Amino acid sequence: MKAVVKQVEFPAGRRILVISDIHGNLPWFQALLAKAGFSREDILVLVGDLVEKGRDSLATLRYIMELSATHTVYALCGNCDNLAVDFIYGNGELGRDFYRFYLSVWGERALILQMAAEAGMEVRGPGDLPGLRMLLLERFRSELEFLRSLPTILESEHLVFVHGGVPSYAHMEELDAWQCMKNDDFLGQGRVFPKYCVVGHWPVALYRGDRLCSNPIIERTRKIISIDGGCVLKRDGQLNALVIPEAGSEAFSWISYDDCPVKTALDRQEEGRDAVVIHWTDDDVEGLERGEEFSLCRQASTGRTLEVPTKYLRRQGDRDWCEDISDYRLGVEPGDALSIVEETSRGCLCKKNGVTGWYFGGLETPGKG
Q: What is the pLDDT of residue 94?
A: 61
Mean pLDDT over all residues of the chain?
A: 95
Q: What is the pLDDT of residue 92?
A: 55
pLDDT digits (tens, 9 = 90+) for 308-364: 999 999 998 899 999 999 999 999 999 999 999 999 999 999 999 999 999 999 999
Walk me through the domains of the chain, giving residue ranges and CATH numbers.
5-78+150-257 (3.60.21.10), 262-364 (no CATH)
How many Å apart are CA 224 and CA 288, to the nearest integer? Answer: 41
pLDDT classification of 42: cutoffs 50, 70, 90 = very high
**CA-based nearest residue to 264, from 335, 211, 339:** 335
- Identify the helix (H) or strand (E) that includes residue 70: helix 57-70
The per-residue DSSP string of 75-135 comes to E---TTHHHHHHHHHS-S--HHHHIIIIIHHHGGGSHHHHHHHHHT----SGGGHHHHHHH
- 214 pLDDT higher than 60: yes
- 60 pLDDT higher than 80: yes
Residue range 113-129: mean pLDDT, rounded: 93
Classify residue 151 as left (phi > 0), alpha (psi -120 to 50) or beta: beta
- Identify the helix (H) or strand (E) that includes residue 256: strand 253-257
pLDDT classification of 244: cutoffs 50, 70, 90 = very high
Residue range 224-252: mean pLDDT, rounded: 97
pLDDT classification of 97: cutoffs 50, 70, 90 = confident
252, with CB counted inside 10 A (0-12, 13-18, 19+), is middle
State if pTM tops 0.85: yes
pLDDT digits (tens, 9 = 90+) for 7-24: 999 999 999 999 999 999
**CA-based nearest residue to 206, from 186, 182, 223, 232:** 186
- 369 pLDDT higher than 60: no
Classify residue 169 as left (phi > 0), alpha (psi -120 to 50) or beta: alpha
240: three-class secondary structure by DSSP:
strand
Q: What is the pLDDT of residue 95?
A: 64
